[in-house]
Structure 1
């Protein structure tokens, strides 16, 4: 019985990973962005003039990951950096018109569908799912891995797929 449950759990995990990958591919073909890049753009849109460290904190991404993503967004003309008026040491992020257009044309993110469905669950079930996923992350030694996928940090080249 234990082996059967293990196999079913691995199958469910593979389905989740495939759904995530398919969602990322759909997003990339529609917008040219990765899921993490889109999430950063969404944060900038929701909270104009955020600092990169605030984005990292809100998304639970590493600071270096956000810096890399913002570099790419800025190079693509989707976001800009501006020094703070009061404190020149602070950098504030702003969305460009091109960034707004990309957000308007982006397909529904898997994360958004998850959030809507998950928030509709009773709190006890949310807590149970969270505990199970945290335990699974621990079993896979993923406790300290940055929440942004490696592909968004430029570590994995999607062209090699």
Structure 2
């Protein structure tokens, strides 16, 4: 097997592992990974704004806005407009949202992060530079991506 074939096989395995986790997450909690990530961000900073959520998780404001609308429609979060500044809208978890968040599995990347941080510094740097090179080779460096492991279109999966 050629080295490029081995690399592509390894990439397919990573994509498959992420896909399986995403399906499992949706099956058990009814959430997509971006939804879980946003719920966790709102829970961590009660009263956070949508723009700050987008900034913190490195997704476009439009993507976050769409996900927030779905979460609000499911009554997992609610918005509160500031009395002092009507332009400021803060996000809060509902009781239902908090209950769902507590029952939801940990994001796939948490286990990955523990294993990655256990590596020596040189190996972390090597993996990072290799993945950045792969992203560049696939013309993926400009894609909207959050530090959450999931495959597929965010818009499609958030319905």
TM-score, with structure 2 as normaliser: 0.89
1:46 maps to which residue? 44
**Equivalent of 1:151, from 140, 145, 153?**
153
1:97-112 equivalences in 2 (<5 Å)? 97-112=95-110
Higher relative contact order (CA 8 A, sep 6+): 2
Q: Do the aligned partners of residues 71 and 8 (structure 1) sit closer, same or farther apart at CA in structure 2, a change above 3 Å counting?
A: same
Shift in Å at residue 81 of structure 1? 1.2
For these two proteins, the number of residue pairs brought into alignment is: 155
Aligned to 1:4: 2
From the superposition, tell whether residues 131 and 83 of structure 1 become closer, same or farther in structure 2 (CA, over 3 Å): same
**Unpaired segments ≥5 residues, structure 2:** none
Corresponding position of 1:75? 73
Q: Secondary structure at the match of 2:79?
A: strand
Rounded Cα–Cα distance in structure 2 between residues aligned with 1:152 and 1:33: 12
Greater displacement, 86-95 / 72-81: 86-95
Offset at residue 112 of structure 1 (A): 1.6
Of 121-130 and 140-149, deviating more is 121-130
Structure 1 gap ranges (5+): none
| Change over 3 Å in CA distance of 1:27–1:129 after alignment to 2 | same
TM-score, normalised by the number of residues in structure 1: 0.88
